[in-house]
Structure 1
Amino acid sequence: MLKIHEIREIIKLIDQSSINEFELEMNGTKVTLKKSVEAETVVIPQPVVQAAPAAVPAAQVTAVEAPAAPAPAEAAKPAAPAQEEANLHKIVSPMVGTFYRAPEPGKPPYVQPGDKVTPDKVVCIVEAMKLFNEITAEVTGEIVKVLVEDGQLVEFGQPLFLVKPE
């Protein structure tokens, strides 16, 4: 069973990270933590931390987070693709889980770039806790790009597909 100081430490770590939702089930105890998200966040993969020191100096935190911001010259380069993507609808993952493009191994994917979709068209599956959740297109349009690989872990709100709406 988790002790209150362990739960508090987990809360601190989640609060300082980009994770929006965390769930832990251990020895019959289940803890679920969710952050309220006020703005769109960018998920930057970081190594898993087993145990954090009791106090982390602010200088260390700044040093870890500083490289994540792109340099101004780098940010200016992808401006044209960003404008193109602004006109596209993003189909996002409604949960944390494993992304699957096909209904089962060896079968063709639900959709490919260039395929026409309707709001009720299933485009993929996200498996979470042994439940296979069908994800629909939500819009009428054409699949432009698949943003994740088959079998990849996805986060809540992570874009999966780009769709050119009709």
Structure 2
Amino acid sequence: MLKIQEIRELIKLIDQSSIDEFKYEQNGEKITMRKQVKGAEGAGQTVVREVPQAAAPQPAPAAPQQAEAPAPQQEAKPEAKSESGEKDSSDREGLHAITSPMVGTFYEAPSPDSPTYVNQGDKVKPDSVVCIVEAMKLMNEIEAEVKGEVVEVLVENGQLVEYGQELFLVKPE
């Protein structure tokens, strides 16, 4: 489970981002963070921590908050996917999606002056580094996991990505 300092860092990252809601689950324990707007007072954070023993009581109080906050977020996600969604619905069969293992900032190159790790059409191997996801000031290299050709890059350099968000589509060999 995340330590208190890691949770504090996540709260800071979420406050500085456009993310409205963040969920993290590991070994049956869950953490949910939601931004709430309180009139003219500004934005605040709600942190809900669920553990297996207390999983039943906590979702009930969180349900009204989820009904308010995620509605715009859920509408925004399909729109973002719809740009490539039309293409993906017919072309996704047989493609491997490389996903982000964490919340962070996506970088396509090791530094601003360096060339990108991979571009559309490049061949990759399972151990090929395809990007970096920066989380809590740590640079995490993301590997391709499969041998194949990069069909599509789904995110832009410097974009904030969520846990499980698809970054690349690869056609396996």
- Tell me which interval the TM-score lies in, with the shorter structure as reference length: 0.5 to 0.7
For residue 164 of structure 2, the aligned residue among 151, 157, 165 is: 157
CA drift at 1:85: 1.2
The separation in 1 between residues aligned to 2:93 and 2:157, in whole angstroms, is: 25
Instruction: Kindly indicate which of the two structures has a greater share of residues assigned to helix.
Output: 2
Cα shift at 1:47: 7.4
Distance 1:151 1:69 in 2: 19
Q: Distance in 2 between matches of 1:51 and 1:123?
A: 35
* Distance verdict in 2 for CA 1:152–1:115, change over 3 Å: same
Change (3 A) 1:82 1:140: same
Q: What's the secondary structure of 1:134's corresponding residue?
A: strand
Structure 1 position 148 matched with structure 2 position 148: no
Q: Which runs of 5+ in 2 are unaligned?
A: 1-10, 12-19, 38-42, 46-60
In structure 2, relative to structure 1, the CA distance for the partners of 1:82 and 1:105 (3 Å cut) is same
The TM-score, its normalising length taken from structure 2, stands at 0.57
Q: Mark the runs of 5 or more structure 1 residues left unpaired by the alignment.
A: 1-9, 11-16, 23-32, 37-45
After TM superposition, give the deviation of residue 83 of structure 1 in Å: 3.0
Deviation beyond 4 Å, 4+ runs, structure 1 = none
Q: Is 1:138 the equivalent of 2:145?
A: yes
Contact 2:97 2:166 in 1 (8 A): yes
Supply the RMSD in Å over aligned alpha carbons.
Answer: 3.9
Q: Percent identity?
A: 54
1:65 CA drift (Å): 3.0
Alpha-carbon shift at residue 84 of structure 1 (Å): 1.3
Match of 1:34 in 2: 30
Secondary structure of the 2:102 match is coil
Structure having the higher Rg:
1
Q: Is the 8 A contact 2:98 2:170 kept in 1?
A: yes
Matched with 2:120 is 113
Out of 79, 84, 89, the residue aligned to residue 91 of structure 2 is 84
Deviation at 1:21, TM superposition (A): 2.5
Give secondary structure in 2 for the equivalent of 1:19: strand
- Count, aligned residues: 125
